[in-house]
Amino acid sequence: MDIERATPEVDRDEFARTLRSLTIRLGALYWFATFVTDSIVWGIAGTDPIASASGKLFAYCFGAVVCLAISALLFRIRHASLNIKATACFVSALVAAPFFALLDFAIHAYCVYPEPVHFTWTDFGQALISSTATFFGWSCLYVALLYSFQVRDQERRLAASREEALSAQMRALRYQINPHFLFNTLNSVAALIEEGEAARAERMVLALSEFLHETLRLDPQHDVRLDDEIALQLNYLDIERERFPNRIGVEVRVPEALRSALVPSLILQPLIENAVKHGVGAGPGHVRIQLKAQAAAGELNLSIENDVPLAISPRDERQVGLGAGLGIGLRNVAERIHSRFAATGSFSAHWVTPERFRAAITLPLRAG
């Protein structure tokens, strides 16, 4: 499908205006180059280039108008096949050449008046061949310009479409909050209310409200400071602590110099959620979650480590989102990193020990 045809009318008008402006500029350059070249050639042949300048300028102005007419014709058939365009170029040159050759003869006769000028078919044939070549050359040049402009315009539109698709993908990935988290949190609030733990239920609701407010406020196309991202994840863990009291220990090891580094918003959320789900939620006992940041060779390395019950062993890696069974949260992180940073970013997840799991992100180090 032709992209130009599929675009709104205002875009097609902009396409035509921009191409018209380029055509006029290119036509002026084409005939200026023709004027200079002919002046040099005829000067070598013995014709005074200064004396003949006015006549050539008049003829070339006429030629420029003819070229614009040819361009208008080619523009109207721009969606035709290359064979049709080539035929149109040749026919247009053949039709325009005799008029230009006759004009050239008339200007020559006027410039040398009162000396008599005799019309000869040999001279007219030479002028006809030269004029045909000139107009055919312009026609081919314009077709090349038209193709080049259409390709650039399509590339621009495709790039805009890819950017829009990437933006939508980033929004979808970033706004994807595990429904189990919301379900479990609301169930925990209801249970606390039934148990008479109104204060804990209130803290949980307020923490959940603040967390959701922050996630909706953030622009997925803008980065945030690492310390702001960490603060948001600590808010999330406060909610989980109400669900799992006295079972979550958090250690944040981030050098002060890296707290202002820029990271994609909510990039750590799926990793923290994965640590809670497969660490705290997988069995009883206390779980240590460690968030670490390091810098090396212009890269920012972020990692989340968490305890995992021994019952979940490396023999069943799909349970923690590895290999072919990459969990949706971790897969979204990997896709966001690849979409945003390509080869300059990476994501990995692996076992540190049979009871310790790590998810790591590598990003370009950028100061906030």
Q: Give yes or no for a contact between 200 and 242, defined as CB atoms under 8 angstroms apart.
A: yes
Q: Please determine, for residue 20, whether its predicted confidence score (pLDDT) is greater than 90.
A: no
pLDDT for the residue 179: 65
CATH top-level class for 176-364? alpha beta
SS3 78: coil
* 235 Cβ contact partners less than 8 Å away, ≥ 6 residues apart: 207, 210, 211, 214
Grade residue 167 by pLDDT with cuts at 50, 70 and 90.
Answer: low
Q: How many helices (H) and strands (E) does the chain have?
A: 10, 7
pLDDT above 50: residue 14: yes
pTM of the predicted model as reported, rounded to 2 decimal places = 0.53
pLDDT tens for 90-116 read 999 999 999 988 988 888 777 767 777
**What is the SS3 assignment for 79?**
coil
Greater confidence (177 vs 317) lies with 177
What confidence category does residue 318 fall into, taking pLDDT thresholds of 50, 70 and 90?
A: very low
Domain with CATH 3.30.565.10 in the chain: 176-364
pLDDT band at 348 (very low <50, low <70, confident <90, very high): very high
For the ranges 37-46, 122-131, 139-148, 167-176, the lowest mean pLDDT is seen at 167-176
For residue 173, pLDDT beyond 60 = no
Determine the average pLDDT of the residues in 224-232. Answer: 91
218-232, 261-275, 312-326: segment of lowest average pLDDT = 312-326
**In degrees to the nearest 10, what's the CA dihedral of 97, 100, 102, 107?**
-160
Q: Whole-angstrom Cα distance, residue 220 to residue 266?
A: 8
- Quote the pLDDT of residue 176: 57
* pLDDT higher at 155 or 322: 155
94-108, 154-168, 304-318: which has the minimum mean pLDDT?
A: 304-318
Indicate the range of 96-100, 259-263, 275-279 predicted with least confidence: 275-279
Name the DSSP class of 62: H
What average pLDDT does the structure give for the chain? 82
> Using CA atoms, how far apart are residues 275 and 349, in angstroms rounded to an integer?
12
Amino acid code (one letter) for 350: H
Q: Is 202 helix (H, G, I), strand (E, B) or coil?
A: helix
